Structure 1
Amino acid sequence: MHLSQVIGGGVVVRAGRDARLIPGATIFALASEAVAQARPLLHMLPEGGERVDVMALAAGNKLDVPVRHPEPARMYLCGTGLTHLGSAATRNAMHGGAPEHETDSMKMFRMGIEGGKPAAGAVGVQPEWFYKGPGTEAVAPGAPLTSPGFALDGGEEPEIAGFYLIGPDGTPNRIGFTLANEFSDHVTEKINYLFLAHSKLRPASFGPELLIGDLPHHIEGRSRILRDGEVIFDKPFLSGEDNMSHSIANLEHHHFKYAPFRRPGDLHVHMFGTATLSFGAGIKTEPGDVFEISAPAFGLALKNPLQVAPDTGLVTVRTL
């Protein structure tokens, strides 16, 4: 089953081709009630509702990020890298790694291969981790992904993201999974691996549909870039644990083991990484390019145009 959030209120529930609207509802409120009652989210969905065309809603840019916190500062956008089989090859090349020289990226990837999928109940090796920003940086499907004026690049990263609501007792509750575009500055990252944190402080987009239930073990998707209606990049991507060096449970543990990330009422969006980048294929994106990320398991494709903000110049600090 898939859920979508309508901008301005209303939740679309889709099972197969049948889509119906729950007017005035939000997925965040439904998830909060599910946590309060200790019941599955699906049990919070009322019966009935008018039939709607979810494709038309998406085409009209009327769908939002599936889950938003009413207080954007309490919504955390984070993620993990070097988690997918094949992801190290792109990263190693980006950072100048030769076959005879093992970069830190390759070492971290090898650690994940060797210890990223521990036995049930055990703790595995921790992954690379990054922070992207608060909920203000969560961009709706169809809306522009804006690269700051000082950026050297604005490139897509097709990923799967999990949405989590922290319960009153500090327990993370997984709401569901969506497609994600973990937008990054790969040119800045390539200068020096220690610039990775800077390269990730960008907006990201999620949705348009939220997959309820377990994440499929094998996910096949496509990442495309269109320029003036013509496809300039088209490559498949794989995700799901069958194609990863870490288990989802291990990635979740190493994020939520930090007490500040288990504050009751907070919302977390965690991106699980990728192995497919147009940057690795030599693509230089331009304003107006449209990123399109799709995977059948997640319903509708996630599309966002690239926009570049004016450079605001030197930031000065005022003394009070």
Structure 2
Amino acid sequence: MTLRLLQHRAADGVRSVIAARGDTAAFVPGVDSVRALAGKAIAMGTDLAGAIAACGAGAPVDIVEELAAGRLLAPVDHPDPAHLFMTGTGLTHLGSAEGRDKMHREAAAAEKQTDSMRIFLEGVAGGKPAEGAVGSQPEWFYKGNGHGLVGPGAPLTSPAFAKDGGEEPELAGIYLIGDDGTPFRLGVCLANEFSDHITERHNYLWLAHSKLRQAALGAELLVGPLPAEIEGKSRIHRNGAVVWEKPFLSGQENMSHSFANLEAHHFKYELFRQPGDIHVHFFGTATLSFSDGVATQLGDVFEIEAAPFALPLRNALAQAPAQAVTVKAL
């Protein structure tokens, strides 16, 4: 059965790691974070499953109950949030066959392709190179650090100056950099790569601004082989009713880039291979309520669910109060 890892915080603040397989789950003795468990696996020269086996069997736990009680955290974090990088790649998903056909027809008819269309088509042509080779370079963006990471049930809070707060349902890869600079992939999780789409649409050069927002991770870290195909649902709840719902597709079969190619282009930078750092890398989406003309409202609840993840990711939309910032000269 597929191994899933979760982070738990009890009412007294004590943290634990949970290992789940199928419908059963148990605490992992002796470790208080997925990062610590991964460090143990690296030191032992084994994988995460081997490290869990070495820790022995812990008490069983009901992860559905723990989620409802608000005791499940994001599946990864760092004691120093500045050492957790949130980054991502866009224009990586093929979307529906109809959407692909439409994009190709528009590309063929245009006298001059847009930069977005060019990078998408470059990914379609060269984003899945042979094993060991590096293919087309994807769009890449910086999202923030660990201060902007929220877990299941926590609000996604837009800054007061934001023009929009919209969901982006996708997968995120989780990595720990080893002592020798080797990136170790711990697994993938459900993610809401929350963004400001109105700001981005105004001018694509504002993409960087639109991405500097919080992001949410589902409670479960899926360990093992990367998924070839993920099919889930993305919803917006408002005042107790579903006001928008749409399926989303992810996994390598639904992408124009391989996971390996996206990883190669991220970790080629030495900056991103500093020992002890955690990386959360968002792999992109092709499904947005914004594209369907939906204007989100404060209090809306975003919900993302997809097998083999057992738990949904739910986060309400909130807004931070305005802040006056003064730069002082020394």
TM-score > 0.5 by shorter chain: yes
Q: Is the 8 A contact 1:144 1:306 kept in 2?
A: yes
More moved, 58-67 vs 180-189: 58-67
Matches within 5 A, 1:1-320: 1-7=3-9, 8-22=14-28, 25-45=32-52, 46-86=55-95, 100=110, 102-313=113-324, 315-320=325-330
Amino acid at match of 2:27: L
Give the C-alpha shift of residue 37 in structure 1.
Answer: 2.1
Q: Is the 8 A contact 1:162 1:269 kept in 2?
A: yes
Aligned Cα RMSD in Å? 2.0
CA deviation profile, 1:182-235 (whole Å, cap 9, x unmatched):
000000000000000000000001121110101210110110000011001100
Amino acid at match of 1:72: P
Amino acid at match of 1:179: L
SS in 1 for 2:140: strand
Give, in whole Å, the separation in 1 of the partners of 2:120 and 2:260: 17
Give the gaps of 5 or more residues in structure 1.
none
Give, in whole Å, the separation in 1 of the partners of 2:26 and 2:318: 33
Amino acid at match of 1:35: I
Amino acid at match of 1:50: A
Give, in whole Å, the separation in 2 of the partners of 1:300 and 1:86: 24
Give, in whole Å, the separation in 1 of the partners of 2:136 and 2:207: 20
Query: Across the two proteins, how many residue pairs are aligned to each other?
Result: 316
Q: Is the 8 A contact 2:26 2:58 kept in 1?
A: yes
With normalisation by structure 2, the TM-score equals: 0.92
Q: Which 4+ runs in 1 deviate beyond 4 A?
A: 87-90, 96-99
Give the C-alpha shift of residue 140 in structure 1.
Answer: 1.2
Distance 1:133 1:246, change over 3 A: same
Q: Is the 8 A contact 1:2 1:299 kept in 2?
A: no
Give, in whole Å, the separation in 2 of the partners of 1:31 and 1:135: 18
Give the C-alpha shift of residue 70 in structure 1.
Answer: 1.1
Give, in whole Å, the separation in 2 of the partners of 1:308 and 1:140: 17
CA deviation profile, 1:68-108 (whole Å, cap 9, x unmatched):
11111100000000000039969x99xx9996363211111
Give, in whole Å, the separation in 1 of the partners of 2:69 and 2:298: 21
Identity %: 57
Give, in whole Å, the separation in 1 of the partners of 2:266 and 2:168: 20
SS in 2 for 1:242: helix
With normalisation by structure 1, the TM-score equals: 0.95
Give, in whole Å, the separation in 2 of the partners of 1:299 and 1:130: 29
Q: Is the 8 A contact 2:160 2:322 kept in 1?
A: yes
Give the C-alpha shift of residue 299 in structure 1.
Answer: 2.0
Give, in whole Å, the separation in 2 of the partners of 1:233 and 1:216: 26
Q: Is the 8 A contact 1:13 1:22 kept in 2?
A: yes
Give, in whole Å, the separation in 2 of the partners of 1:98 and 1:300: 42
